């Protein structure tokens, strides 16, 4: 029941704490005969890792993955793929200040209550470092999804929001700015805002928007495992996510049916796409698009009132480096989770052939 596996056919199980010797994972159900581009996997990991630019945390993590099984002579064998990402720099740093202190809006308190015993160093299992394993699996999934394009970018930071419809953005610019925003002008504003937030010792949230192009018709398993329900769960499982909407989303709830319905053209495509590429839980061949809301990182460089495990009130303040805005680094994680859902549902769809 412990929820460390994701997927039905293409199933990822992750393990590892932020300050243990290594993180890792096992992918069971990867089809055999897939030629893997290991450099691509490393490049995806580089996109997620800390210390890439001036607007994310300066903490260094030399992320590199080592595979132990399931790959032979450069190709997958259909047997489980086991991998590790070593935590190279886990020094015997002093964590005594958080050992018994429950950081506000962190998982310390609930892990203690639920499990009784936890690795408190750097958040342990609840650290977003766990998502490195997801990016590895996602990078493999992407290689199976040939032809299906998954592109995420930062569409808002704080109150700064991209107003342009995604179809008018040039996704090839995303990696050109440290915010990973597809609208270069807004990206500049965002970057400068994040720098200011950093100076304040504060953090800020934002949204990641994702578009999936060329998804075949027919993916999704109603009534409970609708494609968007699984995408939603995938996104909500990422650290710091507070909301998910697809297609017309929350704004769609304000519309009338006559405004919202997507008329069919004679080629089976729809004139509008308020449905967001999914009808009745099944992909209809149009672009799938969705937004994911991230709260601001909880660790701030400001003094905060909190309690320790004996319910004593204490003051605490983050030390060292902090991550003023996690959203740019969340872009590859959103893509990875989308890729995991898609490859899983694409495989499920083989059952109908």
68 to 97, contacts with a copy of itself by CB under 8 A? 68-70, 72-73, 75-82, 84
Q: How far apart are CA 169 and CA 341, in angstroms?
A: 25
**Residues contacting 344, CB < 8 A, separation 6+:** 7, 8, 9, 10, 11, 230
| Cβ distance to a copy of itself smaller for residue 3 or 172 | 3
Does 17 contact a copy of itself by CB under 8 A? yes
Which long-range contacts (C-beta less than 8 Å, at least 24 apart) are formed by 175-183?
175/47, 178/52, 178/53, 178/54, 178/55, 178/56, 178/328, 179/55, 179/154, 179/327, 179/328, 180/153, 180/154, 180/327, 180/328, 180/331, 181/153, 181/154, 181/155, 181/157, 182/153, 182/155
Q: Give the one residue of 28, 37, 213, 287 binding a copy of itself; rule: CB under 8 A.
A: 28
Name residues contacting a copy of itself, limited to 295-334 (CB under 8 A).
Answer: 295-300, 302, 304-307, 311-313
Span of 48-56, 90-98, 172-180, 272-280 interacting with a copy of itself by CB under 8 A: 272-280
Q: Give the one residue of 90, 173, 243, 321 binding a copy of itself; rule: CB under 8 A.
A: 243
Does 183 contact a copy of itself by CB under 8 A? no
Q: Give the one residue of 50, 65, 246, 334 binding a copy of itself; rule: CB under 8 A.
A: 246
State the nearest-atom distance from the C-beta of 285 to a copy of itself, in Å. Answer: 8
Name residues contacting a copy of itself, limited to 149-178 (CB under 8 A).
Answer: 156, 158-159
**Residues contacting 36, CB < 8 A, separation 6+:** 71, 74, 75, 76, 140, 143
Q: How far apart are CA 166 and CA 152, in angstroms?
A: 10
| Cβ distance to a copy of itself smaller for residue 172 or 309 | 309
Q: How far apart are CA 350 and CA 12, in angstroms?
A: 19
Specify whether the CB–CB gap between 147 and 298 falls below 8 A.
no
12 sits in the region (left: phi over 0; alpha: psi -120 to 50; else beta) called beta
Q: Give the one residue of 37, 184, 261, 287 binding a copy of itself; rule: CB under 8 A.
A: 261
Does 248 contact a copy of itself by CB under 8 A? yes
State the nearest-atom distance from the C-beta of 195 to a copy of itself, in Å. Answer: 14
Does 14 contact a copy of itself by CB under 8 A? yes
Does 348 contact a copy of itself by CB under 8 A? yes
Q: Give the one residue of 59, 195, 233, 321 binding a copy of itself; rule: CB under 8 A.
A: 233
State the nearest-atom distance from the C-beta of 318 to a copy of itself, in Å. Answer: 9
Does 263 contact a copy of itself by CB under 8 A? yes
| Cβ distance to a copy of itself smaller for residue 147 or 257 | 257
The token duo for 88 is 């190279």
Q: How far apart are CA 262 and CA 91, in angstroms?
A: 56
Span of 11-19, 57-65, 90-98, 176-184 interacting with a copy of itself by CB under 8 A: 11-19
Name residues contacting a copy of itself, limited to 43-62 (CB under 8 A).
Answer: none
CA atoms within 13 A on the CB side of 241: 23
| Cβ distance to a copy of itself smaller for residue 61 or 245 | 245
**How many other CB atoms sit within 10 Å of the CB of residue 134?**
24
Specify whether the CB–CB gap between 171 and 181 falls below 8 A.
no
State the nearest-atom distance from the C-beta of 172 to a copy of itself, in Å. Answer: 25
The token duo for 55 is 């607007």
What would the x/- binding string for a copy of itself be over residues 192 to 231, using CB under 8 A? -----x--x-xxxxxx---------xx-xxxxxxx-xxx-
């Amino acid at each position: 029941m412990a929820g460390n596996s994701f997927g039905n056919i293409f199933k990822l199980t992750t393990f590892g704490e932020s300050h243990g010797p290594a993180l890792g994972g096992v992918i069971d159900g990867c089809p055999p005969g897939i030629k893997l581009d290991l450099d691509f996997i490393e490049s995806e990991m580089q996109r997620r890792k800390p210390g890439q630019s001036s607007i994310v945390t300066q903490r260094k993590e030399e992320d590199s993955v080592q595979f132990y099984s399931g790959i032979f002579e450069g190709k997958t064998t259909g047997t489980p793929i086991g991998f590790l990402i070593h935590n190279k720099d886990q020094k015997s740093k002093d964590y005594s200040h958080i050992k018994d202190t429950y950081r506000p809006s962190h998982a310390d308190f609930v892990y203690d209550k639920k499990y009784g015993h936890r690795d408190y160093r750097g958040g342990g299992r609840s650290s977003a470092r766990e998502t490195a394993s997801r990016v590895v699996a996602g990078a493999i999934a992407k290689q199976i999804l040939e032809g299906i394009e998954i592109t995420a970018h930062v569409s808002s930071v704080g109150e700064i929001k991209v107003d342009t419809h995604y179809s008018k953005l040039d996704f090839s610019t995303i990696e050109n700015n440290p915010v990973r925003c597809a609208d270069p002008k807004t990206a500049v504003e965002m970057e400068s805002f994040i720098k200011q937030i950093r100076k304040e010792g504060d953090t800020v949230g934002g949204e990641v928007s994702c578009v999936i192009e060329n998804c075949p018709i027919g993916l999704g398993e109603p009534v409970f495992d609708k494609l968007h329900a699984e995408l939603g769960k995938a996104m909500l499982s990422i650290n710091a996510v507070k909301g998910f909407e697809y297609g017309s989303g929350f704004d769609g709830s304000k519309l009338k049916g006559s405004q919202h319905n997507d008329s069919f053209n004679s080629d089976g495509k729809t004139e509008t796409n308020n449905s967001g590429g999914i009808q009745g839980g099944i992909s209809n061949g149009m672009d799938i698009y969705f937004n994911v809301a991230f709260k601001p990182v909880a660790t701030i460089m400001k003094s905060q009132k909190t309690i320790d495990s004996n319910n004593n009130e204490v003051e605490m303040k983050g030390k060292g480096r902090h991550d003023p805005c996690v959203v740019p680094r969340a872009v590859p994680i959103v893509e990875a989770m989308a890729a995991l859902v898609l490859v899983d549902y694409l495989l499920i769809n083989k059952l109908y052939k």
